[in-house]
């Protein structure tokens, strides 16, 4: 090979390296710019894990805060039975959440004197998740549409995926049941629980010697429900830590493979950034009130309808702002004051409503009438109207935004508008197919 040819090839190699080096440099610059833009967008969207998720799903942070309250039924499944049933509500505008336990033995039959095991609410999931939702809606007067079912394996895997959960185990737990291959042995105190120990914690009811949680804490099932609520809060709080962003694939795999839900993908994407703003200090928890007793030889939990209505109002339904007629000032009525109170204040129980059925289903109309009647509204008129996609609440007598929100919370959907006072009712409710 001639010297000229060798020199030419050498120059071509150098030129190729320079071109490749320039391409790499350009790519690095593009990556740096993109990372910078992404980091700036994350900063604009609130920073941290919330900012990352908001940016990734392309959601406006102000839109997230304006999302309506989200209601869902949380079901813990073991051996085809739902031993954990909770109503969950999350308010994106405030970051507040509510967890209401529904005792698994809650009676949902027609006559307690002829009660059977199939009249307990935890048996309804064997028919379908929707039957459980329907039963909970009957007990609470709410209109929950979504459910999430997590079996014990999913709980174990989720806890392991995030590296365990720190929790204060309330008592010493010793229970052995070879028929379920269940052997619970936990010491009391604050500790890191792996997936296996987390399952022991939420399934524990009593020790081998019959002792259980203290009466003040809530013995047997009542204590277990309290522990489940508090542990769920701890899981949520520790899962949403920024450092767990590196474990997102493991968390998503658990959700995809082991969690059942009817929440559609678009709704998930809407609420994903909002859920990261849960204020762990403002999670309210409670249990549906009632009494445990034997009916027809079957252990059941009889829900107290009046107390349940009051509790649902306090936890889930926004109550009104009333006007003091003497001085014209406006006073916000707290939930505890307005429900069951003798004060001269306006609550939803003073309102008359007209319900027009735009769903095309008589069953839906009957359900709505039952819902409003159960919460103390007077349904003065009812009828049919043309099919509507969305539910509309027409405020006809200049009622407050809080009153409108009470109805939206009860329906689980709806948009409020102002209308003319020409129907002799406080609100006209046009049920849409979203109800």
pLDDT 10s digits, 277-335: 666 667 788 899 999 899 999 999 999 988 998 899 888 885 433 333 333 333 333 33
Higher pLDDT, 20 or 67: 67
CB atoms within 10 A of CB 358: 22
Q: Quick one: tokens of 378?
A: 């007077």
| Strand-pair category, 96-101 with 283-287 | parallel
- What are the residue boundaries of the structural domains of the chain, listed by start? 22-58, 65-313, 341-431
Residue 338 is predicted with a pLDDT of 28
pLDDT of res. 17: 56
**What is the pTM assigned to this prediction?**
0.68
Q: Which of 371, 399, 377, 421 is nearest to 138 (CA)?
A: 371
For residue 232, which of 288, 154, 309, 293 has the smallest C-alpha distance?
154
- Could you tell me if 417 and 395 are in contact, meaning their C-beta atoms sit under 8 angstroms apart? yes
CA separation for the pair 185, 207 (Å, rounded): 10
- Express each pLDDT in 156-206 by its tens digit: 888 998 889 999 999 999 999 888 788 999 999 999 999 999 999 988 989
Burial class (CB in 10 A: 0-12, 13-18, 19+), 322: buried
**H or E, element range at 131:** helix 129-140
Q: Alpha-carbon distance 135 to 141, whole Å? A: 10
More confident of the two residues 127 and 334? 127
Q: Tell the CATH topology of 341-431.
A: Alpha-Beta Plaits (3.30.70)
**408 falls in which pLDDT band (50, 70, 90)?**
confident
Question: pLDDT band at residue 38, thresholds of 50, 70 and 90?
Answer: very low
Fold classification of 65-313 is Aminopeptidase (3.40.630)
| 182-186 vs 147-151, strand pairing mode | unpaired
């Amino acid at each position: 090979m001639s010297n000229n040819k060798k020199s030419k090839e050498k120059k071509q190699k150098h030129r190729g390296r320079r071109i490749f080096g320039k391409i790499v440099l350009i790519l690095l610059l593009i990556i740096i710019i993109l990372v910078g833009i992404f980091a700036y967008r994350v900063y604009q969207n609130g920073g941290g894990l919330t900012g990352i998720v908001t940016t990734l799903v392309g959601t406006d942070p102000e839109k997230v805060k304006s999302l309506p309250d989200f209601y869902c039924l949380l079901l813990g499944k073991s051996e085809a039975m739902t031993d954990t049933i909770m109503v969950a509500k999350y308010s994106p505008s405030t970051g507040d959440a509510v967890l209401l336990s529904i005792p698994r033995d809650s009676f949902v039959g027609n006559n307690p004197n002829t009660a059977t095991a199939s009249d307990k609410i935890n048996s309804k999931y064997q028919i379908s998740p929707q039957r459980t939702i329907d039963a909970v809606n009957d007990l609470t007067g709410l209109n929950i549409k979504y459910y999430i079912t997590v079996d014990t394996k999913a709980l174990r895997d989720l806890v392991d995926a995030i590296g365990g959960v720190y929790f204060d185990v309330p008592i010493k737990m010793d229970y052995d049941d070879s028929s379920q291959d269940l052997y619970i042995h936990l010491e009391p105190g604050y500790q890191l629980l792996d997936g296996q120990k987390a399952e022991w914690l939420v399934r524990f009811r009593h020790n081998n010697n019959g002792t259980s949680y203290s009466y003040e804490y809530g013995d047997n099932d009542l204590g277990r429900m309290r522990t489940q609520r508090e542990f769920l809060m701890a899981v949520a709080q520790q899962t949403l830590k920024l450092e767990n962003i590196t474990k997102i694939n493991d968390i998503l795999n658990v959700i995809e493979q082991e969690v059942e839900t009817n929440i559609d993908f678009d709704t998930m994407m809407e609420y994903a950034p909002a859920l990261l703003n849960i204020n762990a200090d403002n999670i309210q928890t409670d249990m549906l009130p009632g009494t445990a007793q034997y009916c027809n030889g079957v252990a059941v939990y009889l829900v107290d309808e009046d107390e349940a209505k009051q509790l649902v109002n306090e936890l889930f339904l926004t109550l009104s702002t009333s006007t003091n007629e003497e001085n014209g000032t406006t006073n916000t009525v707290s939930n505890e004051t307005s429900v069951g109170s003798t004060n001269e204040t306006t609550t939803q129980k003073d309102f008359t409503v007209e319900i027009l059925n735009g769903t095309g289903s008589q069953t839906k109309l009957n359900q709505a009438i039952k819902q409003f009647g159960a919460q103390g509204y007077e349904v003065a008129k009812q009828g049919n109207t043309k099919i509507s996609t969305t539910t509309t609440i027409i405020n006809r007598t200049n009622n407050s935004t809080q009153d409108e929100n009470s109805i939206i919370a009860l329906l689980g959907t709806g948009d409020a508008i102002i209308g003319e006072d020409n129907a002799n009712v406080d609100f006209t409710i046009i049920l849409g197919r979203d109800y």
